[in-house]
Chains A and B, each alone.
Chain A
């Protein structure tokens, strides 16, 4: 038994009737990696926010290095040596790495003085933990993996002895994840202690010595990774063992939708496409893997009708499309599950009924001569609620009060109800708990069985590998050649994600 550096004792936090944390106790020992495992909504974030003084616990206490932290003071945790790397980085893009690291550590008046000293310290830290970084590079020019390194360095620079990493691998390629793990191992050897929040089981098994599993706000078990298995952890997380979704082999049908050498202009922050070809066949799930921001949004927007190709052609049923808009996309029988269900998929202040008919409010049976047939709309919504198991007080509930999973179920129902021929599923399971993820996967596979052509865009490689018949990888607005299910390894896909394989392919073409 090592020295206990962080102790959470009997933490309880209620939000109204919701028990976010119920009597949770945890010990973190020096030099260990403790994984905090749990579905979304299991209470991981609440627990960390209490540790950080963002929330005050109803009861229980937080002890760091033997001293009890005063509740509700964010500064106290930082001063005690706890550092947090958030899932969404908190960096200033227009500043350099060094400036980002020292930001907030010294008063403005002594800025110049500390500059030189800070650079030395930063380089020393980078060296010690093998975090390769150029202190003068602008953060905006860094890759996602490098930005995460800056976040870690920021915490270390503030003399953190305990690091909390919130879903650190969600945005990384397999190679970057590999290098993060090396850093973390190095850090623990140097005496740091780490809390690793994740829901990816194999990563937890690999990096952590101990796993604490939260379910519905309660700590259900703490396990040594040596003495457990991914299946056991999954079962503990969900509460009952789940069967992995069975994917049966299936002959693919005719081509329903095709992108032929499509290029698009750069849209705001999303990368434009360069000469992309994709083919969606009936009864087939085409998975598009890749780190976010590499052209996936453009492909999704193209299929959804939000943008049109600047070059190349879009074909539906073998015929080129001339007029293309979101409305045309809906009318062509394309089911669209948007990436951002809160902003693109639903209107928060509309009721479930109003949200259910949003794509078809002008069409029979929901409209007649400009009047909405609310009776038909409510009936349709009740049907969706029943058939897709949407948990809600009723069709009149404003959708903002639904959980992400239930919101997604309503969207799924709305678009799948008409047996669509093409389905665009953009990050369909992001932010959902395991039960809901399972449900989404089941629905997609069922639609595939019925002969739909499905484009699945996801940053979760496991999801892509599990569901897809064909896999493409996008990087920098380009798309890799198709790979058959089971004929490609994650490492190979990683090569395409990082863009290295594209370069290789080009040099082969050149020679």
Chain B
């Protein structure tokens, strides 16, 4: 048995496998819901209803998708250049810390000056954080999967240390959380009265900008070239290490925006549970999107919908929320296979 490349896949060949993958995911999830004691036929309906069934549900899903778009973009950019950034979680927290440092009264600026400054500084923090593993990789050949992954744990401990110490809210009644951001440092809502902040808007703009960079600029071209074939890129005279480093700066910056937008847009404060693994879910989002920046938006909405929907479903049907994790894992695995089937056919001989 072997795989053969399909030169020009037909339309059905391109779209059928992913659709089948999602259908199969639903079936598997329904089966598991039944095992857990719920009604398998009601599960899907409850998830959809929980995700998009009401204005509140829909806004919740969009809010949840916001950090996922940022981390998904961060991972997509890095993975495209074959830089395996598993550290979006740490970069997210670095952005959140900067947002707290700048937004809790250190700078007495007005919002139009303060918010752009916070965006730039948190992006820089995330960029610097990924720069270290990248330099170790390009200079010394240290595996960035290990370094970026381990930095996640180091950073979580650092956040814990800060929240117990210098950043601890004196008015917080002993809880490990930071002081609240000033009103000038908060991202406004997109529409008055609706619980959706401008972080979502920035995420959409970021996805669009990355897409344009990818296809229209020399930097995007070089990034893709280095990712597909570094040997050919080097032979052609591209500064492979420099491009890799610039890619890392961009990726780290994007991930940090997730932290910034969660603090400045949604929560208004930094706690240890700011991210329920947005950095890791970003990998799922990027893979589901096939590393395409606009696909990241769609995939992030899907993943957020499943999370939010499963949450509400579990309460209504009385099955554990873990079902959401299983659904996403199944969707990812099946999607990887489905994508393979859009590009290759299986030959038996």
Ranked nearest first, the 6 interchain pairs of A and B with the lowest CB-CB distance are A327-B237, A326-B237, A358-B236, A344-B235, A347-B229, A330-B237
A260-293 vs B, Cβ < 8 Å mask (1 yes, 0 no): 0000000000000000000000000000000000
Q: Is there contact, CB below 8 Å, between B229 and A343?
A: yes
The residues of A that contact B23 with a CB separation of less than 8 Å are none
The residues of A that contact B161 with a CB separation of less than 8 Å are none
Most buried by B among A72, A329, A347: A347
The residues of A that contact B218 with a CB separation of less than 8 Å are 361-362, 367, 370-372
* Contact of B216 (CB < 8 Å), options: A326, A336, A371: A371
A194: interface (CB < 8 Å) = no
A56: interface (CB < 8 Å) = yes
Write the chain B residue with the least CB distance to A16. Answer: B4
The residues of A that contact B233 with a CB separation of less than 8 Å are 347, 358
Cα A359 to Cα B218 with chains together (Å): 12
B222: interface (CB < 8 Å) = yes
Q: How far is the CB of B258 from chain A (nearest CB, A)?
A: 26
Decide yes or no: A345 and B235 within 8 Å by CB, A56-B349, A350-B228 being known contacts.
yes
The residues of A that contact B216 with a CB separation of less than 8 Å are 371-372, 374
Within 8 A of B (CB), among A328-363: 328-331, 336, 338, 343-350, 354, 358-359, 361-362
B143: interface (CB < 8 Å) = no
Q: Is there contact, CB below 8 Å, between A347 and B232?
A: yes
A427: interface (CB < 8 Å) = no
Q: Which residues of B contact A (CB under 8 A)?
A: 5, 7, 216-219, 221-222, 224-225, 228-229, 231-239, 349
Cα A291 to Cα B131 with chains together (Å): 44
Q: Is there contact, CB below 8 Å, between A350 and B225?
A: yes
Q: Which residues of A contact B (CB under 8 A)?
A: 55-56, 72, 304-306, 325-331, 336, 338, 343-350, 354, 358-359, 361-362, 367, 370-372, 374, 400-401
Q: How far is the CB of B4 from chain A (nearest CB, A)?
A: 8
Q: Is there contact, CB below 8 Å, between A346 and B219?
A: no
Q: Is there contact, CB below 8 Å, between A346 and B232?
A: yes
The residues of B that contact A325 with a CB separation of less than 8 Å are 237
Cα A349 to Cα B218 with chains together (Å): 17
The residues of A that contact B229 with a CB separation of less than 8 Å are 343, 346-349
Cα A306 to Cα B238 with chains together (Å): 11
The residues of A that contact B7 with a CB separation of less than 8 Å are 401
Q: Is there contact, CB below 8 Å, between A343 and B219?
A: no
Q: How far is the CB of A380 from chain B (nearest CB, A)?
A: 14
Q: Is there contact, CB below 8 Å, between A358 and B349?
A: no
Q: How far is the CB of A490 from chain B (nearest CB, A)?
A: 32
Q: How far is the CB of A381 from chain B (nearest CB, A)?
A: 14
Write the chain A residue with the least CB distance to B345. Answer: A16
Cα A331 to Cα B238 with chains together (Å): 12
Q: How far is the CB of B132 from chain A (nearest CB, A)?
A: 26
Q: Is there contact, CB below 8 Å, between B228 and A329?
A: no
Q: Is there contact, CB below 8 Å, between A344 and B217?
A: no
Most buried by A among B5, B219, B236, B238: B236
Q: Is there contact, CB below 8 Å, between B235 and A370?
A: no
* Contact of A344 (CB < 8 Å), options: B224, B225, B232, B239: B232
Q: Is there contact, CB below 8 Å, between B228 and A349?
A: yes
